[in-house]
Amino acid sequence: MAAPSIAMEVNCQSNFKLSKGEKKSLRKQNKARHTLLRHEGIEAVSYSTQSLVVANGGLGNGVSRKQLLPAFEKCGLVEALLMPPNKPYSFVRYKTTEESQNAYVSLNGKEIVDDLGQKVILYLNFVEKVQWKELGLQALPPGLTVVEEIISSEEEKMLLELINWTEDINNQNCQKSLKHRRVKHFGYEFHYENNNVDKDKPLLEGLPDICDSFLEKWLAEGYIKHKPDQLTINQYEPGQGIPAHIDTHSAFEGEIVSLSLGSEVVMDFKHPDGVTVQVMLPRRSLLVMTGESRYLWTHGITPRKFDTVQASEHYKSGIITSDIGELTLKKREIRTSFTFRKVRHTPCTCSYSLVCDSQRKETPPSFPESDREASQLEQEHVHRVYEEIAGHFSSTRHTPWPHIVEFLKALPDGSIVADVGCGNGKYLGVNHELYMIGCDRSKSLVDICRERRFQAVVCDALAVPVRSGACDACISIAVVHHFATPVLFYSSFCPPIPAALASLCSTPCFLILGTLLLSDDVLFPHSASYQRTSGKGWQECRAHLLSAI
Ligand SMILES: [Zn+2]
């Protein structure tokens, strides 16, 4: 029999030659193939290849790596066993087609015992390639590399001893103790107010000599292509982190490198479309970010004391997959990072204009002419900004405003309250006797709410997915001034155009804070609060506000 025709042969065998059991198995195998194609877009091929998709052999149906791998290893040298999280299938790739054929013959339609001791039957099909990206399987962000063991333990020690956190008499190197970490700058000071450097004012002292020799070496060895002239040293205690951010395009060139010392850490990378990849940065490794990973993906470190990491001994750098069979917890230790960047002196011309401050069009403010324009305006100047600054925004907004706390505490126990534009959820936990639902247009902020175990959804403040009259009260704090048009604004506030906010509560019981635009030329910086007991109707509320101007 010609080697590459097993699958075809199995599938084309005349059904009379098969026993009843074999026919059933064949039907199930075909069914598995169709399901994978229909639901997952995984296309099986009718000839043998090195890779197989294993239906029923996935983490999603309780089969762990520990159970599956030995079975496949008996058939040949397994190059990779890829088990996507929560999926009822996996992929196995062999070194040769012969080995994958072996596996096909020995394991297709065969039983395996899952983690709960139940038997599952595996159905195998050949695939041309293992579909990483299409399946949302994780790969490193493009342009990112992690070079392991770039320095020795002795060199690490030397670098760590170089930093004198305790005394910096002239504060020459701009030491700062930020809220979440200690930081020191060399070459140029980095200003957190505008996330930029003062390019005309290099610091008196440049980069430490020892760093210079490392940089020269990395350049010569090809790990980096440009010599940095700015260094930021960050020190993180366990539990500390850095909010997700993209280094300002106009501030630094396209290659940013970061040396991890003292301890490993897991860094989160996030693509604007929501894909998140956790990358392990081992101790003494160099993270090199270029291209897409530097310009388009945000990176940050979640403040926590433990990281979820791969369990295998041989695993060092790279992505943390969500493979439950391979995960374990690792306690964080003090990590010091040396981040080297090259200050940019010409505008950035990257191909990621959406996130590029050099390419941001500065148009004079004007009223949008259509809903479409208004929505674009909001998208660009409100939603995108909040997505980008969510981490920082959240970390600077801890203290609830007393007026709002008072309002929430005065509500009857058990009231259902919507917080429209809830941000990081700072009001959602103010009164535990209320049932509060938050919503915000920024996914990143809603993620923060969820981490804090609040109920929150992503939505537009003018299309809140809550049934009219379902709430007893509603707050919307510092939101309305973000709406782009008077139409949108009025529609949210006035009864003649019943809109999201107005219709949420059964009786007017609102707290709206923001700079309210009540007529074409009057800005009304005020708060408007209408308690349930006031019994004021919408017309009265509006009249009250207008009379106060
Ligand atoms: Zn750019």
Q: How far is the CA of 252 from the centre of ligand 1 (A)?
A: 9
Q: Are residues 523 and 394 in the same domain?
A: yes
Q: Are residues 200 and 240 in the same domain?
A: yes
CA 27 – CA 42 distance, rounded (Å): 18
Q: Are residues 223 and 255 in the same domain?
A: yes
Q: How far is the CA of 504 from the centre of ligand 1 (A)?
A: 42
Angle at 453 between CA 269 and CA 300, to 5 degrees: 15
Instruction: Supply the pLDDT for residue 493.
Output: 38
Which residues of the chain register pLDDT less than 50? 1-14, 132-137, 169, 172, 324-325, 484-500, 508, 514-539, 541-542, 544-549
Q: How far is CA 48 from CA 71, 91, 95, 101, 124, in A?
A: 19, 14, 13, 7, 11
96, 127, 158 — which closes off a domain?
Answer: 127
Structural domains counted in the chain: 3
134 lies in some domain: no
Contact yes or no for 94/80 (Cβ under 8 A): no
Q: How far is the CA of 302 from the centre of ligand 1 (A)?
A: 25
366 lies in some domain: no
Q: How far is the CA of 48 from the centre of ligand 1 (A)?
A: 45
Q: How far is the CA of 292 from the centre of ligand 1 (A)?
A: 10
Q: How far is the CA of 222 from the centre of ligand 1 (A)?
A: 24
506 lies in some domain: yes
Of 76, 118, 82, 122, which is closest to residue 101 (Cα–Cα)? Answer: 76
Neighbouring residues of 22: CB distance < 8 A, sequence distance ≥ 6: 109
358 lies in some domain: no
158 lies in some domain: yes
Of 210, 177, 172, which is closest to residue 189 (Cα–Cα)? Answer: 172
Q: How far is the CA of 344 from the centre of ligand 1 (A)?
A: 11
Neighbours of 14 (CB within 10 A): 6
Residue/partner pairs of 460-467 with CB below 8 Å, 24 or more apart: 460/500, 461/420, 461/421, 461/492, 461/500, 461/501, 462/488, 462/491, 462/492, 462/499, 462/500, 462/501, 463/500, 464/418, 464/420, 464/439, 464/500, 464/501, 464/504, 465/439, 466/418, 466/437, 466/504
Q: How far is CA 93 from CA 30, 79, 81, 100, in A?
A: 21, 5, 6, 7
3-state helix, strand, coil split of the chain in percent (to 5) is: 30, 25, 45
Q: How far is the CA of 455 from the centre of ligand 1 (A)?
A: 36
Domain that holds residue 422: 381-547
Q: How far is the CA of 224 from the centre of ligand 1 (A)?
A: 19
Name the pairing type of β-strands 416-420 and 473-477: parallel
Q: Are residues 181 and 268 in the same domain?
A: yes
Angle at 78 between CA 264 and CA 283, to 5 degrees: 10
Q: How far is the CA of 254 from the centre of ligand 1 (A)?
A: 8
Query: DSSP secondary structure string, 129-166?
Result: S--TTTTT---PPTTEEEETT-S-HHHHHHHHHH--SS
Q: Are residues 178 and 118 in the same domain?
A: no
Residues in the chain: 549
Q: How far is the CA of 300 from the centre of ligand 1 (A)?
A: 19
Q: Are residues 66 and 211 in the same domain?
A: no
Q: Are residues 182 and 288 in the same domain?
A: yes
CA 204 – CA 188 distance, rounded (Å): 9
Q: Are residues 122 and 159 in the same domain?
A: no
Q: How far is the CA of 247 from the centre of ligand 1 (A)?
A: 10
Q: How far is the CA of 427 from the centre of ligand 1 (A)?
A: 36
Q: How far is the CA of 245 from the centre of ligand 1 (A)?
A: 14
Q: Are residues 309 and 416 in the same domain?
A: no
289, 313, 341 — which closes off a domain?
Answer: 341
Q: The CATH number of the domain where 507 resides is what?
A: 3.40.50.150
- CA terminus-to-terminus distance, the chain: 90
Contact yes or no for 188/201 (Cβ under 8 A): yes
Q: The CATH number of the domain where 323 resides is what?
A: 2.60.120.1520
Instruction: Supply the pLDDT for residue 176.
Output: 57
Q: Are residues 148 and 292 in the same domain?
A: yes
Q: How far is the CA of 358 from the centre of ligand 1 (A)?
A: 6
CA 279 – CA 177 distance, rounded (Å): 26
Q: Are residues 111 and 230 in the same domain?
A: no
Q: The CATH number of the domain where 54 resides is what?
A: 3.30.70.330
348 lies in some domain: no
Instruction: Supply the pLDDT for residue 402.
Output: 75
77 lies in some domain: yes
Q: How far is the CA of 289 from the centre of ligand 1 (A)?
A: 14
Q: Are residues 30 and 150 in the same domain?
A: no
Q: How far is the CA of 142 from the centre of ligand 1 (A)?
A: 16
- Provide the 8-state DSSP code for 443: H
Q: How far is the CA of 355 from the centre of ligand 1 (A)?
A: 7
Q: How far is the CA of 217 from the centre of ligand 1 (A)?
A: 28
Instruction: Supply the pLDDT for residue 519.
Output: 34
65, 92, 127 — which closes off a domain?
Answer: 127
Q: How far is the CA of 248 from the centre of ligand 1 (A)?
A: 8
107 lies in some domain: yes
Q: How far is the CA of 133 from the centre of ligand 1 (A)?
A: 25
Instruction: Supply the pLDDT for residue 381.
Output: 66
Q: How far is the CA of 361 from the centre of ligand 1 (A)?
A: 13
